[in-house]
Amino acid sequence: MRDDAATRFFVPEVDDDDTWRRRLALVRSIEGDARGNRRVVEAMMAVPRHAFVPAPLRDRAYQDCPLPIGHGQTISQPAVVAMMTEALCVGDDDVVMEVGTGSGYQAAVVSRLVRRVETLEIVAPLADQAPVTLQRLGYDNVKVHRADGYGGWAGAGPYDAVLITAAPEQVPQGLIGQLRDGGRMVVPVGPQSGVQDLMVLVRDGTSTQARSIAPVRFVPMVRSGH
């Protein structure tokens, strides 16, 4: 029987008692990665990760690890999703651009905290499938675009925050230009193979202030034609 206060995060369309309890256990185990941010913890609890994982791997959806989603891409480790979401420092009325939709999981989490998410995916099958999953689950404030993330999506900007879920070797300066003044970018920066540096950058007029959060491993951020 579900008797916890977190019962309100049971998702009838896709959940049963087992998935709900495993998600609750996972989120409780990674709460520290959200730095005590209750809004982020509740967003993580509200999103059924197993619905964004390929069917053969759904029994592993609530393990704290990345999982392959095909086409050389992964769904991020939940602890890292919590860390990156907290680092965005977003509010209810914010508009966020995400680069690297993947299966749509990270966008779904962020969407629980903001007004709108514009998310970009360069891999065509993922760009086609993610909106189907998001719409089926009712995430109607997420818009998926098939696009090269290095170009961003200027038409909906400037953005309150930019979240990049693949690793460029250097910070994409063009995307900083799509942030509003005072906006934040969260991005893993570093070599295509090996450890990258998860960074937070804050736009301050024509300059940026940067700090490092943690070492991470992400798939490379790629460009069209590469």
Asked if 24 and 45 count as a contact pair (C-beta separation under 8 A), the reply is: yes
CA 106, chain centre distance (Å): 3
Residue 129: burial class (beta carbons within 10 Å; 0-12, 13-18, 19+): buried
**217 forms bridges with which residues in the sheet?**
none
76 is catalytic: yes
Asked if 27 and 41 count as a contact pair (C-beta separation under 8 A), the reply is: yes
CA 198, chain centre distance (Å): 13
Q: Could you give phi then psi for residue 137, rounded to 5 degrees?
A: -90, 0
Name the CA radius of gyration of the chain, rounded.
16
- Among 29, 76, 207, 212, which one carries the catalytic annotation? 76
Q: Could you give phi then psi for residue 220, rounded to 5 degrees?
A: -65, 150
Encode burial over 26-65: b for 16+ CB neighbours within 10 A, e otherwise: bbeebbebbeebeebbbbbbbbbbbbbbeeeeeeebbeee
Looking at the annotation, which residues are catalytic? 76
